[in-house]
Structure formats: structure tokens, C-alpha cells
């Protein structure tokens, strides 16, 4: 019988809306009248460094948006970036119930830039749910690299067969499964509950 002792969660697309994915970027460049193609090209060159915490949000914006004079300020652009984050209450409730049960180690494995990650952790009270944040900006690794999953396993000292990982993207789920973790691709909160129950991970939701 499987005994799950640790549950690892993606943040953007699972617990919250995505922080700075294509739809969010498209929304921002449209609002501020930034050339989409030029921004996209510059973003693609910097996103790895940005999400690994190698460059700050200010440095990222300096090279993607403010390389030329603008009619708006960096702070206005950042404020809009932060405003795009929205909670997924039904999934947060599931995670919160597991935390309150006291049965599971709860942690995230997520790709996110430092400033957005910190804002989302603080704004949505994620420290009240999770003990550990294995975020790309903190550890210098990104999903679907095997190293970020292995680091999460090493930090929690829970064997992969006793871990569950939840993400909305197939490639990230596949990477976790290759290390022996029980991986769930979340498509809806109801489906997530059913998949947890199949693993014997149960709580009154």
C-alpha cells in the first residue's frame, strides 16, 4: 500500500494563476503599448537568468522594456505585473486541508522570478501552507530539469515513492515521474481530489 508522506506543488497554474506566462506578458505589452515581437525576443534571451534568480526584476525590465524611453514608469509596469496574479481558492483549500491534517510534508517546486515569487508567497499567505519553497529563483534550477526535483527530495529526505508532485504541465509531470515520484497533472480541482484519493491521500475537503 502506497504511503504518501510529502506533497510537492507547482504554484503558477495550480495554486495561483501563472505569474508571468505568455498570456500575462501579452496583457502587459498590450496595456502599455510595447512592441510584442521585440519584447518577446528580449524576454526569450533573459527568461532563464530571470527565473534562476541571476538577474533582478529591475534588470529584466531594463533590458526588455526600458531599453528606450517610455511614457510610463518601471513602477507602473511592475504594479501591473503583480496585479495579474490571482488565487485558485478551490485548490488552495485542498492544500490547506492537507497542511491542517498534519500528515504530510508540504512544499512547492516552481519556476518563478524572485520578486514575483516573494510577492505571491506573502500576498497569498503561502507560508501558512508550505514548509519549504523549492523555487527556481532560490535554487538556480528550473523544471523540468531533474536537479530541482532531486533537490526537493534531498531537502525533505522523503524517498520518491512516498512523494506526490502536482503540476499542470505534462513535461514537468513526466520529469517528476522519471525520478519515481507519483505525479499528477492537474486539470481541475475535482480531478485533483480524485487522483489524490487513488493514492490514498485523503482529507475532508
The string of pLDDT tens digits covering residues 67-87 is 999 999 999 999 999 999 999
What are the grid coordinates assigned to 150, written together? 532531486
pLDDT of residue 187: 97
Per residue in 44-67, pLDDT (tens digit) is 999 999 999 999 999 999 999 999
Per-residue pLDDT at 205 exceeds 60 = no
Q: How far apart are CA 25 and CA 41, in angstroms?
A: 12
pLDDT average, residue stretch 161-175: 98
Domains of the chain: 6-18+86-198 (3.40.50.1000), 22-83 (1.10.150.240)
Torsional sign, CA 168, 3, 98, 150: negative
pLDDT average, residue stretch 158-175: 98
Band of residue 202 on the pLDDT scale cut at 50, 70, 90: confident
pLDDT of residue 73: 98
Amino acid at each position: 500500500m502506497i504511503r504518501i508522506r510529502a506533497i510537492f506543488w507547482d504554484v503558477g497554474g495550480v495554486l495561483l494563476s501563472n505569474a508571468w506566462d505568455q498570456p500575462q506578458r501579452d496583457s502587459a505589452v498590450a496595456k502599455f503599448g510595447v512592441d510584442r515581437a521585440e519584447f518577446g525576443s528580449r524576454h526569450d534571451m533573459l527568461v532563464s537568468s530571470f527565473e534562476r534568480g541571476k538577474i533582478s526584476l529591475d534588470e529584466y525590465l531594463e533590458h526588455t522594456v526600458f531599453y528606450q524611453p517610455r511614457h510610463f514608469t518601471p513602477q507602473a509596469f511592475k504594479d501591473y505585473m503583480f496585479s495579474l496574479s490571482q488565487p485558485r481558492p478551490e485548490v488552495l483549500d485542498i492544500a490547506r486541508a492537507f497542511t491542517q491534517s498534519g500528515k504530510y510534508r508540504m512544499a512547492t517546486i516552481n519556476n518563478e522570478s524572485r520578486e514575483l515569487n516573494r510577492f505571491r508567497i506573502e500576498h497569498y499567505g503561502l507560508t501558512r501552507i508550505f514548509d519549504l519553497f523549492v523555487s527556481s529563483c532560490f535554487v538556480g534550477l528550473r523544471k523540468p530539469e531533474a536537479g530541482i526535483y532531486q533537490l526537493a527530495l534531498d531537502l525533505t529526505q522523503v524517498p520518491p515513492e512516498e512523494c506526490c508532485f502536482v503540476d499542470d504541465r505534462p513535461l514537468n509531470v513526466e520529469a517528476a515521474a522519471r525520478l519515481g515520484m507519483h505525479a499528477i497533472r492537474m486539470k481541475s480541482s475535482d480531478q485533483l481530489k480524485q487522483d489524490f484519493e487513488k493514492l490514498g491521500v485523503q482529507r475532508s475537503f
